[in-house]
Structure formats: C-alpha cells, structure tokens
Chains A and B, each alone.
Chain A
C-alpha cells in the first residue's frame, strides 16, 4: 500500500467531473432502493458507499496494515485500526448498555472452530491481500485477484453456514460480552495495551499514525456508529456474502430448509426477502460501488494493466476466496464483523479472533511467494 500524504490521498475526493455519469447512477441506485424498499435501506446503501469511499479513497484497510506491521514493523495502520475501534466502542458499548432493545452487538462464541477459522482466515487474507471488506473494495477498484476471489468467498460462506453447527459442536463457550462502564473501561484498556505492544515492536522512526490513517479511522468510526444506529446491528460483511450464495443456490433448486442455520427464523426470513432489505448486503454493495466511484475519479487508476500472474496464483486466489468465506463463518465474522465490530461492541471473541488471525497472517505472508503472488524472498 503506497504511503502518500493526506493531501495527495484526499485530492481525488475533491476532483470533480470525471465520474459524473457513474455518480448519477449511484445516486439513482440510492433513490431506487429508498423508493422500492424504504428510507432505512437507502440510508444503509449510502453508509456502504461511505465505507467504500473511505477505504479506497484513503487507502485504508485491514490486511495491508497487518502486512506492514509483520513485514516492516510499521505500526501506523494497525494503530489506526485500534483508534477507530476505540472511537466506536466509546459510543457503541454505552448505547448497547442503555437498555435499548433495538440494538444488538456483534457476538461470537469462543471455541476451537472459531479460533481455527480465524487463523485460517488470517492466512488466506494475506494470500489474496484482502479481507472481507478488502475483497469487496479491491474488486470495485479493479483488482482482478479480488474479483476472482469474491464469488468463491460467497460460496465458501454458504458452505460454512451448512457445517457451522458441527464445527461449533467441537466445543465453544457462550458469547462473553464486556458491557457497561466496566466493559468499556476494560475494552479501552485492552486497546491501549495492544497499542503499547504494537509500538514496542515497531521499527524505530515509524511510531506514528499517518494523517490519512487518522482521518480514515475517524470517518470509519463515524460510519460504523451510524451503521449501528440505523440498522440496529454493527457493521458486518460475511453474512451478506453467504446470503447471496444461498439465494443463488435456492434459485437453482437447492433446498436449504434442512440446514439449521437457514432454518433459523431470522435467516429463513432473509432468504425469502429482497437483498435490498438486508443490511450487510446493502453495505457490501455500497462498498463495491464506492470503491469503483473513487477509482474512476483517481486519474489513471483504472488504466493500469491487470497484474500478470502465473496460473497457480489465480488458482490460489480462487481457493483462498473459498477458504475466506468458509473460515469466516466458523469464526463468527471477518476483520469487520468479528475484529472491528466485535471488539467495539464488547465481544470477547473479537480479541481472540484478532490474536488467531494475526498469527495466521504471518503464515499467509510466507505462502504468498509460493503461490506466485509476489517474488520469492
């Protein structure tokens, strides 16, 4: 991920005219969603566009900063992630603890499958250099590896839902949530402690957060809080991808009613309803369109040739997509649903997910050259 100044990164945001027809199409999509489904769903699409614009416009994400920390001991991106999570936690944990029954946090069950799933997700995430949100944003901005991985991500997520009960049956704790004032204090202390460890491990001269990352952290936090307030649930990615594949499977005659996951009332209702009324689907769609929009406005960004990779790299991209989808279901989310939203809403599984996925990322970075994704070291 290129290190640019805040001014140069923000420049495309201010550029006018280049993507005007596309902008009109996007606005028409928001208007159509609002008209067809309702104002809340139109607003969710707007929030998704915001996520895409921020992540691609400010070159922020999850996989890249972890890679920078592991390979170069550059802590800026990871620190920005922790800052953003802290900002969300400051609003989300009090809101969830206020007795508002309209809101729910991201909860996951710490267990063998969850930990293994997070580890494998971290590995695959570094092979394709994209997590859940990263794969969507990268596909929208013209990354062919992400485009290959995305459909398999959806299918893998569906397969994960079909086996989730079996995997969780291997052993899992009930959801553990840090709530109230104490929960917020513990979450902020853990975030500060993690930041201190990251800073201690950082290479000399890198112990700072670049300005564009600070801006991205603040904007992402604002969008994530808005996501919780509007949808009643935190920002997530994986559910929507699995839902798309499940709808596709149902359309070609696959009966999912025998699946405990899809037979659950909430999921059965989602399966029979329009994706324009599914929150994670709308923010996922918004992220792809937002990333495409900002790429259109960035001179020359879409004129670059597609990366020339060996055949095994494309096979690795496809398989990694499948693994990303499957493992993220077992892990109760990806970097967004488990790590970012999990920790920000006080779920302990977010912390366990972070540790396991970070360890998996170390392995993934070692695998990348073997798959032809980059020159061998």
Chain B
C-alpha cells in the first residue's frame, strides 16, 4: 500500500462527511452573511476552540 491510497482515503472521508451532512441538512444561500465579517456590523456567531459560552465567566 502506498501513500496515494492513504491520501485517497482521507479525501474520500472528507467527501463522505460532506455528503452525509448535506443529506441531513442543507445550507440556505439566501441566509448567507456578508463576504467579510469585518465591517459587516454583525456579531460573530461561529463556533471556536476557545472558551465556550457555556463556561461561566467566559
């Protein structure tokens, strides 16, 4: 087995993840935010690795 197989499996896993997710829920392009967050006037709503909202004091 070569690294090509491993890379192909990794890419297939990504494709499978996206396909399964799209089968469960579809994004709404008409709900899309502005291209850039900076200057949009909208508060950030993305999830992040840092202190989550659920943790008191954060």
Contacts and interface: CB of A to CB of B under 8 A. Distances in A.
Interface string A311-327: 00000000000000000
A11 B19 CA distance: 34
Interface residues of A, number: 91
A174 B58 contact: yes
B49 A229 contact: no
Contacts, number: 226
Which of B26, B34, B44 has most A Cβ within 10 Å? B44
A234 interface: yes
Interface in B5-58: 5-7, 9-11, 13-14, 17-18, 20-22, 24-27, 29, 31-55, 57-58
A260 interface: yes
B2 A305 contact: yes
A325 to B, nearest CB: 11
A26 to B, nearest CB: 10
A333 B47 CA distance: 12
B48 A106 contact: yes
Interface of B is mostly: loop
A237 interface: yes
B30 to A, nearest CB: 9
Given A288-B11, A333-B49, A141 B42 contact: no
A276 B21 contact: yes
A303 B27 contact: no
Nearest to B6: A142
A229 B38 contact: yes
A267 B5 CA distance: 35
Interface in A102-161: 102-109, 139-144, 147, 150-151, 161
A261 B54 contact: yes
B8 to A, nearest CB: 8
A79 B21 CA distance: 40
A41 B18 CA distance: 14
B58 A107 contact: yes
A53 B9 CA distance: 19
A82 B14 CA distance: 31
Contact of B3 (A103, A165, A301): A301
Contacts of A285: 14, 17-18
A295 B13 CA distance: 17
A267 B54 contact: yes
Nearest to B25: A274
A296 B32 CA distance: 33
B54 A141 contact: no
Given A174-B57, A174-B58, A230-B35, A37 B46 contact: no
Which of A164, A240, A277, A279 has most B Cβ within 10 Å? A277
B50 A303 contact: no
A78 interface: no
Interface in A332-353: 332-334, 336-338, 342, 347
Contact of B54 (A231, A260, A296, A337): A260
Contacts of A174: 57-58
Interface of B: 1-7, 9-11, 13-14, 17-18, 20-22, 24-27, 29, 31-55, 57-58
Given A164-B55, A302-B4, 13 more contacts: A35-B29, A37-B27, A102-B42, A102-B44, A232-B37, A233-B48, A236-B48, A247-B24, A273-B27, A285-B17, A292-B10, A303-B4, A333-B50
24 contacts: A38-B32, A109-B55, A141-B7, A142-B5, A143-B3, A143-B6, A144-B3, A151-B13, A161-B52, A164-B52, A172-B57, A175-B51, A230-B38, A232-B37, A261-B52, A263-B54, A273-B27, A274-B25, A285-B17, A285-B18, A302-B7, A328-B49, A332-B50, A337-B48
